Structure 1
Amino acid sequence: MVPTFTLCLLGSSALLLSTMPGAQEVTCPRPPSIANGLHTGLSSGSFSRGVTVSYSCREGFELLGNESITCTDSGRWSRTLPRCEAIGCQVPEVQNGKVHNVQSTYRAGDTLHFDCHPGHAAEGSDEARCQPGGIWDPPLLVCHRVRPCPMPPEVANGNHNGRDTEGFTMGMSVQYTCDPGYYLVGNAAVTCRASGNWSQPRPRCEGTVCINPIVANGRQVGGHGLLSAPGQTVTFQCHDGYSLQGSASLSCQEDGSWQPPAPVCDRALPYHNSFSRSPGT
């Protein structure tokens, strides 16, 4: 190919430039992506020689390595890619306690254990886990002064098994039960915590009810609407053409069940008269 020449005049000087026919502009491929990071070239369609792309990391991660890369004359990116690593956690402060076996660095996913001073205890777990972004879970490590719990609260129509206990210390549990005809709503057990509080809200006892059965091909002829209380009864009758199998009368039990079980209405078999008259009678 024969090059073409262009004469450029710059004041009293002249510059002769040559251009090779068919020469193409140097470009680089799309910049590689990095885990947990972004770069400034995501919206660009092409990357010419001299273009620079910068990298950054998601929140909770820090950039290690070259912050930017540049498209070179050879159509390659200038430097090795950076990487994004999760930000580590600092040694946390433990209120009324200390970290067990302190490490110089804690990376995301690391777990530490802590000890409490005498007379103090942790509520729940005595460990914490380092999360991405340098945050501990749980964020506050606290050892509470061990205090006795008061007498567990009473519940209407129920009782608990701690009435004969003189003192309740951390870790002791109490079980709640309901009187006959009532059922428990909530946690049956509560535990004394280091702070002197019970672990769960007290449960409650609500009256037991029985949902009146529905008998296919039959109807309720005695009882109280759709619900019954323990001790109440309901009575059923089958529609015409059906016969009752089981007991017609049911009684609501204290656990919400019916005794005996609900009856069934089966289609009645046609009646055949087997008696035949003798001839001449």
Structure 2
Amino acid sequence: GSLSCEDDTEMRFSYKQVCSFSCASGYRLVGSKKVTCTSAAVWSEKRPHCEAILCKNPEGEPPIITECSRPLTELGPDSICSFSCEPGFELQGANTIQCSEHGQWSRAKPTCKAVSCLLLEAPEHGHVNCSNDEPLFNSQCFFTCDQDYSLEGHELLICNRHGNWTGKKPTCQAPLSRAAVVSTSVAAGGAALASGLSLAVWILKRLRQKASKFELNSNSDIEEPPQVYRNSIDSLI
């Protein structure tokens, strides 16, 4: 700090003399800014002193994470602190604050709020059982269906760090009716019968073609009996 007195460059401190005190940048004056020399040759006030201007430690309890440009015990003017949250939480407020020359933070310290997903309802003809009453981060929900109904989709969904479920809500599919099963079986049987008949007709045609070729080949191999000419016999007689 510094000291200046009225009309007294030699600092002799005479009666009724007034002296003023000030502090360097980054420090504040603690005590009276001015003192006066009394008739008893003592100062009217105690001598003040200077102390460093510091902002309060903004560090909070988990899940908030604090990182500052200076040690937490030396957060003077222009010090900057940034904030983030642990997985499963989202920051509410400013992510950075700065210490002013008056020892005040530029903004209020932020907080962390737990991430939550949309509430899941049980599917029609089904049930849902969740690990927590509120769908917070890492909450798990299991899905089942009524008897004779089949689950279509994921059996387990988990609330992730971004507030989204890991998949779409499943549905419960109704079983096929007996008439539908019989109709499907008849249709399948008819198709198989038609396919079998087509195959039989094709085989029969192939057999007929082979039989025709065999007859032609057999006829070509039979030699005609030798011709007996009457004139030749007559000539021999």
Q: Do the two structures share a fold, i.e. TM-score over 0.5?
A: no
More helix by share: 2
More strand by share: 1
Q: Which has the larger radius of gyration?
A: 2
TM-score of the superposition, structure 1-length normalised?
A: 0.38
TM-score of the superposition, structure 2-length normalised?
A: 0.43
